[in-house]
Structure 1
Amino acid sequence: MLLATVCSAAVATIYVAQPVLAQIGRDLGVPESDLGWIVAAGQIGYLVGLAVLVPLGDMLDRRKLVGGQLLLAAVGMLVAAVSPTLWLLLVGLATTGLFAVVVQTTVAMSADLSTPTERGRTLGIVTSGVIIGILGARVLAGGLADLWGWRSVYVALMLFLVALSIAVLKQLPADHRSSRRTYGDVLTSLGHLFREPLFISRGLIAFFLFASFGTLWSGLALPLAAEPWQLSTTQIGLFGIAGLAGALGAARAGRWADTGRANPVTGTALALLALSWIASGQAAWSLWLVVIGVIVLDFAIQAAHVSNQSLLTAAYSDKTSSAIGGYMIFYSLGSALGATATTKIYSTSGWTGCVVLGASFALCGLLTWALSRPTVTRVRRDAASLGSGRMDTTPEAG
């Protein structure tokens, strides 16, 4: 639960801006078409951290690594909280994003602490913490922003990150990595993953998955705050509760992965993701349909994400931090694309344009999954023929 809480708090730092974008824009004088950069700044920092910081988890004591990164993320939150200009705000958010990759170090640590038959279940629980952070942050941000302004959101997260850092250093066991591996070794190992068809296919699916996710959650606040609804930031933040219901319902995806159904679960989830946009597209006249769309979308995102991570940590069990970090590079790029493209398209084509964009991302992910099925089958067959070695021999190790 501590590891899940770390993931929840760290990832929340990137997403709390989404329900209060309009308030930040008014306070700092940011045009509507440029608001997406406030979300994208954290994603850009996150992208850099995935490449240069997450591989450290394969060579250093993860307890100290997690504790230190939480403290440095708190520094970024402090800078954001006191920022008088957009540029300083972006610097603070990018800094926080850089060290928010503590999420991936934590996920890799949880996978390594699990047995092969329980890995999917453990990842499902810890990744639920990630989804709680992403969606619960909206509820927290909306309420705090209405009471004390958007800056209070970043102050609250800063204090929570500091407290978590202390808890991690006191509660987690030491986790010494092999001293024979250098930083160059782990970066080379990460680079080699980008030649692996399995890794590339799962990464591309993550790219489209989270581009669709980012499209919904970066843009949904805009039509809800406009006519005919004119919802407050607190009311908009409550839509995160609907997302939590869907995401937590999908925590069982980890158990499905443990029984060899990870790849079918991914395909089914991507199909549901595309269908969810039909309901979410009705924001102009039905809030209930939007709620249904949000629940289905977050269920699909969680199910596909857990299944993908289960496949990768099983396939690359000797370098879980590098595998998760590399996979999440695709995630970060997709999220940043969804955030920036959505606000641009909304300013020209309204919510309808955003819906078409989000559904298109989902369909691209489904197409990638369909085209990669022969690769998954081949990897599974190779693992079975080897009987042991790098790959797990569970039915869906590939």
Structure 2
Amino acid sequence: MTSVRPTLTTPVLLLMAAATGLCAGGNYFNQPLLESIAAALGTSHAAAAATVTIAQVSYALGLLFLVPLGDMLPQRRLAVTLMLAAAAGQGLSGFAPNIGVLMVGTAMAGLFSVAAQVLVPFAADLATPERRGSAVGTVMSGLLVGILLARSVAGILAELGGWTTVYRVSAVIMVVIAVALWRVLPATTATTRQGYGQTLRSLGSLVRTHPRLRSRALLGALTFASVSALFSTMAFLLSGPPHGLGDLEIGLVGLAGVGGAVAANLAGKLADKGYGARTTAAGVVGLLASWGALAAGASSLLWFVVGMLLIDLALQLVHVNNQNIVYTLDPAARSRLNSVYMTTYFAGAASGSALGAIAWTNADWTGVCILGVALGSCAVVVWAVDRRIAAGDDKTRAASTGDVSAPR
């Protein structure tokens, strides 16, 4: 096993943040464009909305089967290869003549865009221990900015050249960023010598060994499921009465969540200072509060924007602290820990998207809001369970080492 010597500079960190944003953002291009996609390809709202679920399911599969390779293969080579494959999927989507081809391109792009989740633990490896939370927060800030800009840029480019334009442009930029990463990232060696099958089997061992991996993964899944119920239906609400917004306007509304990018970086810094538990609590409470504003957003665009800001803030406050805790459980297995956590996280997202579409079909926006609150309430329960686990761990550690630091 070979450890990685911390070599993370600010320019390299920022490029990694940009790469994660580009990879993750590609899975969100379709969200403000669902109405246009349905009309252009002559398909139903349900079929167009299914591309949101496909992106998240394929991403979850990549997290499960590809991200663990980060402990087996040189991380730079793996990240760059995955980015190039994701670019191919974006290119296919950009020239899709029908919904079937778009679904295939979406699945390819989603599967290989897990390059982002190779880069996040890579940043944790390269950072010094006292900067690890900040480094993870910075890269996650880039990821969130990418998601937010993806919605807005997709809307803008759809107005200029049609809904396919954003996919074509993205494919080219992803290739450029991948080449840049190859040039600036340090070469590393694997942290484990075991085979692929053994690596995958070790995921189950990690789940059994670390209770907080289970609790934090489930907490992440529930919070992202609640948010994804919003993401998969907001275009239908905003394009209809009384709002009547077009692709560009819907994309710009998504920028309301830019505060979440600030929250991601702030959450990482607070975790470094020992305030992770309070930050997570604020995120869980903020998630529930956001749905009150979003419910009022059915008739008020201002309240919808407030709700978008709150829900993105809440998601990042919880998510960054989840990752910071998970990465400390076993430093030699960070890619595999990230695989377990992020697979669960995006399985929750895919479930939330699918349930959101069902809720919209059966009860319109009221049904979506009820679903969002229900999922957020489940997250509160899991958060309470996690606090009990953390308290037990702290008592055990204090008894054995005399360390009485506050629970994380």
The TM-score with structure 2 as length reference comes to 0.93
Aligned twin of 2:352: 338
Q: Using the alignment, how far apart are the partners of 2:401 and 2:130 within structure 1?
A: 16
Conservation of the 8 A alpha-carbon contact between 1:208 and 1:364: yes
User: Which residue of the partner structure matches residue 7 of structure 2?
Assistant: none
CA contact (8 A) 1:260 1:394 kept: no
SS at match of 2:189: coil
Counterpart for residue 272 of structure 1: 286
Q: Is 1:374–2:388 an aligned residue pair?
A: yes
1:24-83, Cα deviation, whole Å (9 max, x unpaired): 011112212333211111111111111111011012111111111100001111111111
Distance of 2:195 and 2:274 partners within structure 1: 34
Q: Distance in 1 between matches of 2:405 and 2:29?
A: 39
Describe the shift of the 1:256–1:80 C-alpha distance in structure 2 as closer, same or farther (beyond 3 A): same
User: 1:244: which partner in 2?
Assistant: 258
- 2:3 alignment counterpart: none
Provide Cα deviations, 1:209-254, integer angstroms capped at 9, x if missing partner.
1101111121111111001111111011011211012432442111
How far has the Cα of 1:357 moved from its partner? 0.7
SS of the residue corresponding to residue 45 of structure 1 reads helix
Asked whether 1:96 is paired with 2:94, we answer no
The residue type equivalent to 1:260 in the other structure is G
Matches of residues 206-221 of structure 1 in structure 2 within 5 Å?
206-221=220-235
Task: Assess, with a 3 A threshold, how the Cα gap between structure 1 residues 79 and 371 changes in structure 2: closer, same or farther.
Answer: same
Tell me which amino acid in the other structure corresponds to 2:67.
Answer: V
Partners of 1:43 and 1:209 in 2: how far apart? 15
- Work out the CA distance in 2 between the residues paired with 1:328 and 1:65: 17
1:396–1:26 Cα change, 3 Å = farther
| 8 Å contact kept, 2:191–2:333 | no
Match of 1:253, SS? helix
Aligned residues of 1:257 and 1:396 also touching (Cα < 8 A): no
Would the aligned equivalents of 2:144 and 2:260 in 1 still touch at CA under 8 Å? Answer: no
Q: Is the 8 A contact 1:250 1:300 kept in 2?
A: no
Native 8 Å contact 1:142 1:234 kept in 2 = yes
**What is the alpha-carbon distance in structure 2 between the residues aligned to residue 178 and residue 233 of structure 1?**
45
The answer on whether the counterparts of 1:282 and 1:290 sit within 8 Å (CA) in structure 2 is yes
Partner of 1:297: 311
* Partners of 2:371 and 2:335 in 1: CA distance: 32
1:314 to 322, 328, 333: 328
Distance 1:170 1:33, change over 3 A: same
CA distance, structure 2, for counterparts of residue 206 and residue 199 of structure 1: 10
Q: 1:6-85 counterparts in 2 under 5 A?
A: 6-85=19-98
Give unpaired runs (5+ residues) of structure 1.
Answer: none
Distance in structure 2 (CA, Å) of the matches to 1:85 and 1:10:
24
- Aligned pair partner of 1:262 in 276, 279, 282: 276
In structure 1, the partner of 2:185 is: 172
Distance in 2 between the 1:108 and 1:72 partners?
Answer: 20
Q: What are the ranges of 5 or more consecutive residues in structure 2 without an aligned counterpart? A: 1-13
Report the AA paired with residue 373 of structure 1. R
Aligned mates of 2:155, 2:183 — CA distance in 1? 32
One-letter identity of the residue aligned with 2:114: V
- Partners of 1:309 and 1:7 in 2: CA distance: 15
State the Cα distance separating 1:178 from its structure 2 match.
Answer: 4.1
On the 8 A contact 2:26/2:109 being kept in 1, the answer is yes
What is the rounded CA distance, in whole Å, between the counterparts of 1:132 and 1:386 in structure 2? 43
- Distance in 2 between residues matched to 1:57 and 1:386, nearest whole Å: 33
Report the equivalent of 1:122. 135
TM-fit CA distance, 1:380: 3.0
- Relative to structure 2, which stretch is displaced further, 237-246 or 10-19? 237-246
CA distance 1:286–1:321, change in 2 (3 Å)? same
Matching residue of 1:226: 240
Task: Tell me how far apart the structure 2 counterparts of residues 128 and 95 of structure 1 sit (CA, whole Å).
Answer: 24
Deviation at 1:396, TM superposition (A): 6.2
Contact persistence 1:66–1:102 (CA under 8 A): yes
Size of the aligned set, in residue pairs, is 394
Asked whether the 8 Å contact 1:63–1:175 carries over to 2, the reply is yes
Could you say what the CA RMSD is over the residues aligned between the two structures, in angstroms? 1.7
3-state SS of paired residue (2:281): helix
Cα distance in structure 2, aligned partners of 1:10 and 1:22: 23
Q: Which amino acid aligns with 1:339?
A: S
Instruction: Kindly indicate whether the alpha-carbon contact (under 8 Å) linking 2:138 and 2:264 is maintained by their aligned counterparts in 1.
Output: no
- Residue of 377, 387, 393 corresponding to 1:363: 377
Structure 1 match to 2:157: 144
Cα distance in 1 for residues equivalent to 2:381 and 2:292: 19
Q: Is the 8 A contact 2:54 2:106 kept in 1?
A: yes
Contact 2:191-2:332 within 8 A present in 1 as well: no
Greater shift after overlay, 255-264 or 366-375? 255-264
Aligned mates of 1:55, 1:18 — CA distance in 2: 28
Distance 2:406 2:143 in 1: 24
Indicate whether 1:285 and 2:299 are aligned.
yes
